[in-house]
A and B are shown apart, each in its own frame.
Chain A
């Protein structure tokens, strides 16, 4: 990777973000400008902003990495990420906009007339937001390190600073423009290189063969193993090694390994002849196979019960999208409920169109960057392909474009999350001080995950992405669906459901990450909680609400009219 071009591209992306953000500063003056862009964002712009915010690095880099490592079954991820918007459209989009609230806690309070419900929702929003921010910042460090050669921690801090500046400067108004710009950048950054890559590839070898046959090195390839790895061989392997394999030292000596599991020490250099099969990484004891760090909890344990885990993935992503606070807050920026629906349909088109591209990078990564499968760094596949396949100055320039897109991916998702967390913090946690105080909340919103990402850089925090999806699906999905469609929901019911659903999902994934290793069904059920924790959340909400029937909020009828009747002032002031 050419570091000069890469650095220039990343700086350009950051600069553009700040310039567009500060242009927004001149426009945004009042509190409502800050939070919801005065609700005058037209559907197409808003849809671009929603998509720009939604397509995080997990989409930009992670999906291609997953396809490269594990094949096309991984395409369930982008399908789930997109279909989540269809569910959101059908059940939530228009009524949520008509609720007239700024944030999820606002919705909880105005619908249920309970400050306690508001507080629980606030805690969940901040929790989910931080969980989602952490891997974004860590991924940023990783990518920036690869692209510019900067130390890993610096990248995360850099992204945190840029995001804090952009959000604190202009709030949602500037973020709307920033996000829309970043969607365009991300799409361009995958689309233009894809054309060159396809020309360079011209179908040799065919995609079917690439996906179905075990990956092999196409020419002499030297791989340096960064961290100690266990490899599983199905046939004898010949290579030249410099380092330690199975505890024996090699000094540029020929190495012949029999089929079975072998350990390659960190720092070992292996040189493979053309045609050699790529050794398979052995997952060992943990659930993580190291295939791709982005979606490990979602892909963990796939081998045990693939059908259950596929449905678990479908459940978590279809329903989790609706519960992500940074996605929901964007719906308040629509002029009205009808526009909110139209926005969502445009989002379906924009997000779906984007997701046509990553699988191509995944397949090409499998053919032309098989060494990443051995080092486990498959998320880098998108970043290295241009250099390998196109080469020369053109390759470097295209690589730089992709780096800028990846940078946009981190920035957009991180700023959206920061904005929604800061909104909740400034309204519910810190005392009311007006706009200046929103800036304080922004600092707090990004400082906590940034500190954590520096402090725990060794931990597999990417697990937090899947955790955030599962927690959102099991807490906010029931709250929104029941709150919008069921008159019987009470505050105690909602609180119980939020705590039970969200809490059990949190516990389950927490146990998967940090708990004792489990096997078989126990492990699978814990690693993929959404299948049971979402119904649990719904059931608790319904049962407790029925038990506390006498506490149905007095304004329920009025709230229902407000949520469902079209084109009317959102708040009943009488």
Chain B
């Protein structure tokens, strides 16, 4: 949370005017806001008429999708060749140690790598959203 300020409670409602009203105005969400009033009102205006600035939504979506694709691409590039690589390890009978390599890679190294990719994704996804806040603010 970058500079969260006092969280404001807002009513979270269900889906857009569909039949499921049984749980109506149900949960509350804390929405951390970064201080400035104009930004908040702009966002709410965009929300009152969500199609008002579809171009902004589109550009944010395509940037986020690109980021998601890059993240999974990184994952595939990192993990994908491993089964092939492990098959290429020398036979245990001739040169032992292959099992330890597999353990080190799959059992230990894989997890920090996944964590780093995840962290990297979150930083960039939040940056994308911050950037997208500006065109919305124009509305």
Q: What is the minimal beta-carbon distance from B26 to any residue of chain A, in angstroms?
A: 4
A566 and B133 contact, Cβ closer than 8 Å, known pairs A75-B106, A342-B122, A572-B16: yes
> Chain A contacts of B17 at CB under 8 A?
573
Q: What is the CA–CA distance of A130 and B112 in the complex, to the nearest angstrom?
A: 33
Is the beta-carbon distance between B18 and A113 smaller than 8 angstroms? yes
> Chain A contacts of B97 at CB under 8 A?
208
Q: What is the CA–CA distance of A486 and B19 in the complex, to the nearest angstrom?
A: 23
A110 and B118 contact, Cβ closer than 8 Å, known pairs A310-B83, A561-B54: no
> Chain A contacts of B48 at CB under 8 A?
572, 574
A211 and B100 contact, Cβ closer than 8 Å, known pairs A86-B75, A90-B72: yes
In residues 103-123 of chain B, which contact A (Cβ within 8 Å)? 103, 106-108, 110-112, 114-115, 117-119, 121-122
Is the beta-carbon distance between B15 and A109 smaller than 8 angstroms? yes
Is the beta-carbon distance between B98 and A212 smaller than 8 angstroms? yes
Q: What is the minimal beta-carbon distance from A446 to any residue of chain B, in angstroms?
A: 23
Is the beta-carbon distance between A72 and B102 smaller than 8 angstroms? yes
Q: Is A52 an interface residue (CB 8 A)?
A: no
**Chain B residue, CB-CB nearest to A337:** B129
Interface size bracket, B side: 35 or more
Is the beta-carbon distance between B49 and A574 smaller than 8 angstroms? yes
In residues 204-233 of chain A, which contact B (Cβ within 8 Å)? 207-209, 211-212
Q: What is the minimal beta-carbon distance from B78 to any residue of chain A, in angstroms?
A: 9
Q: Is A559 an interface residue (CB 8 A)?
A: yes
Q: Is B134 an interface residue (CB 8 A)?
A: no
Is the beta-carbon distance between B46 and A40 smaller than 8 angstroms? no
Q: What is the minimal beta-carbon distance from A247 to any residue of chain B, in angstroms?
A: 35
Q: What is the CA–CA distance of A355 and B102 in the complex, to the nearest angstrom?
A: 15
Is the beta-carbon distance between A345 and B106 smaller than 8 angstroms? no
Q: What is the minimal beta-carbon distance from B84 to any residue of chain A, in angstroms?
A: 7
Q: Is A338 an interface residue (CB 8 A)?
A: yes
Q: Helix, strand, loop or mixed for chain A's interface?
A: helix
> 0/1 per residue, B3-23, Cβ < 8 Å to A?
000010011111111111011
Is the beta-carbon distance between A211 and B99 smaller than 8 angstroms? yes
* Cross-chain contact of B68 among A71, A90, A208 (Cβ < 8 A): A90
Q: Is A558 an interface residue (CB 8 A)?
A: yes
> Chain B contacts of A113 at CB under 8 A?
16, 18
**Chain A residue, CB-CB nearest to B87:** A307
> Chain A contacts of B60 at CB under 8 A?
564-565
Is the beta-carbon distance between B111 and A39 smaller than 8 angstroms? no
Q: Is B27 an interface residue (CB 8 A)?
A: yes
Q: Is A115 an interface residue (CB 8 A)?
A: yes
**Chain B residue, CB-CB nearest to A347:** B118
Q: What is the CA–CA distance of A573 and B7 in the complex, to the nearest angstrom?
A: 22
Q: Is A568 an interface residue (CB 8 A)?
A: yes
Is the beta-carbon distance between A560 and B114 smaller than 8 angstroms? no
Q: What is the CA–CA distance of A32 and B13 in the complex, to the nearest angstrom?
A: 11
**Chain B residue, CB-CB nearest to A39:** B27
In residues 58-79 of chain B, which contact A (Cβ within 8 Å)? 60-61, 64-65, 67-68, 71-72, 75, 79
* Cross-chain contact of B100 among A32, A207, A558 (Cβ < 8 A): A207
Q: Is A391 an interface residue (CB 8 A)?
A: no
**Chain A residue, CB-CB nearest to B97:** A208
In residues 1-59 of chain B, which contact A (Cβ within 8 Å)? 1, 7, 10-20, 22-23, 26-33, 43-44, 46-51, 54, 57
> Chain B contacts of A307 at CB under 8 A?
83-84, 87
Is the beta-carbon distance between A86 and B114 smaller than 8 angstroms? yes
Number of interface residues of A (CB under 8 A): 80
> 0/1 per residue, A542-563, Cβ < 8 Å to B?
0000000000000101111110
> Chain A contacts of B18 at CB under 8 A?
109-110, 113
Q: Helix, strand, loop or mixed for chain B's interface?
A: helix
Q: Is A571 an interface residue (CB 8 A)?
A: yes
Is the beta-carbon distance between B111 and A353 smaller than 8 angstroms? yes
Q: What is the CA–CA distance of A569 and B8 in the complex, to the nearest angstrom?
A: 11
> Chain A contacts of B46 at CB under 8 A?
561, 565, 568
* Cross-chain contact of A31 among B20, B23, B65 (Cβ < 8 A): B23
Is the beta-carbon distance between B43 and A565 smaller than 8 angstroms? yes
Q: Is A465 an interface residue (CB 8 A)?
A: no
Q: Is A567 an interface residue (CB 8 A)?
A: yes
> Chain B contacts of A115 at CB under 8 A?
19
Q: Is A570 an interface residue (CB 8 A)?
A: yes
Is the beta-carbon distance between B30 and A356 smaller than 8 angstroms? no
Q: What is the minimal beta-carbon distance from B127 to any residue of chain A, in angstroms?
A: 11
Q: What is the minimal beta-carbon distance from B39 to any residue of chain A, in angstroms?
A: 10
Task: From A36, A89, A115, A307, name the one whose CB has the most chain B CB atoms within 10 angstroms.
Answer: A89
Q: Is A380 an interface residue (CB 8 A)?
A: no
Q: Is A359 an interface residue (CB 8 A)?
A: yes
Is the beta-carbon distance between A561 and B57 smaller than 8 angstroms? yes
> Chain A contacts of B126 at CB under 8 A?
338, 341
**Chain A residue, CB-CB nearest to B23:** A31
A564 and B103 contact, Cβ closer than 8 Å, known pairs A39-B28, A83-B114: no
Q: Is A280 an interface residue (CB 8 A)?
A: no
Is the beta-carbon distance between B99 and A567 smaller than 8 angstroms? no
In residues 60-113 of chain A, which contact B (Cβ within 8 Å)? 71-73, 75-76, 78-79, 82-83, 85-87, 89-91, 94, 99-102, 106, 109-110, 113
Is the beta-carbon distance between A109 and B20 smaller than 8 angstroms? yes
Q: What is the CA–CA distance of A40 and B67 in the complex, to the nearest angstrom?
A: 28
> 0/1 per residue, B80-95, Cβ < 8 Å to A?
0001101100001000
Q: What is the CA–CA distance of A77 and B10 in the complex, to the nearest angstrom?
A: 41
**Chain A residue, CB-CB nearest to B26:** A32
Q: Is A344 an interface residue (CB 8 A)?
A: yes
A569 and B47 contact, Cβ closer than 8 Å, known pairs A73-B86, A345-B122: yes
Q: What is the minimal beta-carbon distance from A377 to any residue of chain B, in angstroms?
A: 23
> Chain A contacts of B72 at CB under 8 A?
86-87, 90-91
Q: Mind listing 10 A-B residue pairs with CB under 8 Å?
A: A32-B26, A32-B27, A85-B118, A89-B121, A89-B122, A212-B99, A311-B83, A314-B83, A566-B129, A567-B33
Query: 9 tightest A-B contacts by CB?
Result: A110-B15, A352-B111, A571-B13, A211-B99, A561-B50, A75-B106, A212-B92, A566-B129, A558-B50
Binding site for A on B (CB under 8 A): 1, 7, 10-20, 22-23, 26-33, 43-44, 46-51, 54, 57, 60-61, 64-65, 67-68, 71-72, 75, 79, 83-84, 86-87, 92, 96-100, 102-103, 106-108, 110-112, 114-115, 117-119, 121-122, 125-126, 129, 132-133, 136
- Besides A106-B15, A110-B16, A359-B103, 10 other CB < 8 A contacts? A40-B28, A86-B72, A91-B72, A212-B92, A341-B121, A348-B115, A353-B111, A356-B107, A565-B47, A566-B132
